[in-house]
Amino acid sequence: MAVSIRLRREGTTNRPYYKVVVADSRSPRDGKFIEIIGTYDPKKKDHNSTLKLDRIDHWISKGAQPSDTVRSLIKKNKKVAATPVAEAAV
């Protein structure tokens, strides 16, 4: 079974919202999936995606192939996770 990490469209007309899922590559876009590993809201300005990076690493190690869009979301989220948070002034 070829597994891919891709976006699953949800939401309404003109208000898309996506879930990042692990699914069989042969299943339809909004069909059955194995696991939900994140969300993506393209209408939001700041911090528009949340991903479970540990689960993504797990599935990639098992051979799952991320789509191009998901690959860019992973890069963006890893950059955000790596930036140090400024400490609050006391």
What topology does CATH give the domain 3-82?
S16 Ribosomal Protein; Chain: A; (3.30.1320)
Burial class (CB in 10 A: 0-12, 13-18, 19+), 85: exposed
Q: Please tell me the predicted confidence (pLDDT) of residue 82.
A: 67
Q: Alpha-carbon distance 24 to 12, whole Å?
A: 25
A 10 A CB-CB count for 21 gives 22
Q: Give residue limits of the domains in the chain.
A: 3-82
Q: Alpha-carbon distance 50 to 19, whole Å?
A: 9
On whether the CB atoms of residues 70 and 37 are closer than 8 A, the answer is no
- Over the stretch 31-72, which tens digit does the pLDDT of each residue have? 899 999 999 999 888 778 899 999 999 999 999 999 999 999
Per-residue pLDDT for 90 more than 70?
A: no
